[in-house]
Amino acid sequence: MNIPNTKQPRIVIVGGGFAGIHLLRKLIKTKKFQLVLIDKHNYHSFQPLLYQVSTSGLEPDSIAYPLRKIITSVENAYFRLTEVTSIDAKNSTLHSSIGQITYDYLVIATGSKTNFFGNKSIEKNGMAMKTIPQALNIRSLILQNLEKATITTHKEEREALLNFVIAGAGPTGVELSGAIAEVRNNIVPKDYIDIQPSEIKIHLLEGLERVLPPMSEKASAKAKKFLEELGVEIHLNTMVEDYDGEVVNTNKGDRFKTKTFIWSAGVTGAPVKGLNANALVERANRYNVNVFNQVEGYENVFAIGDIALMKSEKYPKGHPMVAQPAIQQGENLAKNLIKIQKGEKLKPFSYFDKGTMATIGRNKAVVDLKRSTFGGFFAWFIWMFVHLWFLVGFRNRIVTFFNWTYNYINFDRAARLIIRPFRGGVKNEDLVNPPEEEEEE
Ligand SMILES: Cc1cc2nc3c(=O)[nH]c(=O)nc-3n(C[C@H](O)[C@H](O)[C@H](O)COP(=O)(O)OP(=O)(O)OC[C@H]3O[C@@H](n4cnc5c(N)ncnc54)[C@H](O)[C@@H]3O)c2cc1C
């Protein structure tokens, strides 16, 4: 990978998501290590706002941040754009499509990927929303289908083009269906005089008995009410069985004809192969870590964020796969890596739960705090503030704030552009550099 060997211990961080960049930022300040960040994208993605890119609310560059900008002018910090393909822990070496690299400490922060639960028809024909390219695919598909609906004279085809089906009513599915409903209610009447908004149907399918299952019952009931006010049709206790590109079939025998089927029903860890069998909790695809985020069986290999499964009395199945545990683990590990160098006692990780929130649309959001739950305008305002606060990069905050203000005043979604038409085919893949022959370090 063409990284010089120095006297400083080398920390290799795989993944520039929430966990990886918070770790990196803290470590940069110490100047005690040689730091190497590796990611298969050259940008950090702010995943909580992917749905806004999918629904033309924001441009993708408002929620992406160049990873090299984090290490601009930092001595002894390097970035390499590649996918790590395997770990050889015996020789403290990582393998990738652009070569290999040795490490003194390895931090795996590779996050998660869409979980299709082994359903090949959904994986092949459904749309996932885990990366910016995938969000752009959805944006193009929605707009292309609206365009096609204006020209078809075939009634059934028009119905399928104007039917939007979303599987999974967790925060992502709820936010996405609310935003599509706003496109129907606010954009379609102005842009498409030949489509009646009432022709557009938005179906949200959920396998459990309520929307937003990770949140409180009160928040869930409020979110359901908000969605219904926007005209989203909710189907609870409904599991998708397959989708052939034309019809979604469910366990209840329902058939939804649609050209847009979005799968937001779960994620699973994105581990790198090579560590011993005990390191991985197979069911979750996440690494077994102790309270210091050390991967089971290894002293110098750590995992943080979505990929780390740290069992505790309060979280027997590990922490929720959301941004806060990732950020907090990144920051705690930075302190511990410095302590290791100094020979000091390590600090166990303790998760501070700041609450959960989801937005459904304009003036509509729900917030669960430790002692209270609320919804409506105030919750929506807090949701916006928190997302702006955590968005990476000052420019991104300004651009997003400007866009939201403009959209709010004008009932608009200005990014409704088919820049890169969606043509089907490879869509749930996201490899940047296809593997080549390995080179020497
Ligand atoms: C649509 C969506 C909406 C969400 N909404 C919210 C929300 O509202 N609130 C909230 O708290 N959380 C939300 N989350 C969850 C949150 O985004 C994740 O919990 C968080 O991103 C986890 O951070 P991470 O650093 O562990 O992983 P990630 O942020 O996923 O980062 C992983 C990084 O690793 C890189 N990578 C992966 N494998 C490799 C490899 N082999 N080689 C090189 N690079 C690799 C990836 O490119 C990526 O940059 C949402 C997630 C999604 C998908």
Per-residue pLDDT, 412: 87
Q: Which atom of ligand 1 is nearest to the CA of 321?
A: 19
C-beta 52 within 6 A of ligand 1: no
335 near 26, Cβ under 8 Å? yes
| 14: helix, strand or coil | strand
Q: Active site residue: 59, 83, 175, 182, which one?
A: 175
Per-residue pLDDT, 424: 80
Q: How far is CA 299 from the centre of its chain?
A: 29
C-beta 305 within 6 A of ligand 1: yes
Across 53-67, average pLDDT:
96
How many C-beta atoms surround the C-beta of residue 214 within 10 A? Answer: 14
Per-residue pLDDT, 180: 98
* This prediction's pTM: 0.94
C-beta 41 within 6 A of ligand 1: yes
C-beta 17 within 6 A of ligand 1: yes
Backbone region of residue 393 per phi and psi (left: phi > 0; alpha: psi in -120 to 50; beta: other values): left
Number of residues that this document lists for the chain = 441
241 classed as catalytic: no
Q: Is the pLDDT of residue 239 over 80?
A: yes
364 near 178, Cβ under 8 Å? yes
Among candidate residues 229, 237, 239, 246, the one with its CA nearest the CA of residue 163: 246
pLDDT tens digits, residue range 99-155?
Answer: 999 999 999 999 999 999 999 999 999 999 999 999 999 999 999 999 999 999 999
- How would you classify the pairing of strands 10-14 and 34-39? parallel
Across 42-69, average pLDDT:
96
Q: What are the counts of helices (DSSP H) followed by strands (DSSP E) for the chain? A: 12, 26
Q: Which atom of ligand 1 is nearest to the CA of 44?
A: 49
Q: What does the block give as tokens for 371?
A: 């002692």
Q: Which atom of ligand 1 is nearest to the CA of 304?
A: 26
Per-residue pLDDT, 435: 42
Q: Which atom of ligand 1 is nearest to the CA of 48?
A: 5
Percent of the chain having pLDDT more than 90?
Answer: 90
Mind giving me the DSSP string for 334-382?
HHHHHHHHHTPPPPPP------EEEEEETTEEEEE-SS-EEESHHHHHH
C-beta 172 within 6 A of ligand 1: yes
C-beta 175 within 6 A of ligand 1: no
**pLDDT confidence of 429, banded at 50, 70, 90?**
low
From 13, 23, 47, 431, the mutation candidate for ligand 1 (largest count of ligand atoms within 8 A of CB) is 47
Question: What are the start-end ranges of the H helices in 31-131?
Answer: 50-54, 67-70, 120-125
| 61: helix, strand or coil | helix
What's the one-letter identity of residue 276?
N
83 near 40, Cβ under 8 Å? yes
Percent of the chain having pLDDT more than 70?
Answer: 96
Average pLDDT of the chain to the nearest whole number: 94
Phi then psi dihedrals of residue 229, to 5 deg: -60, -35
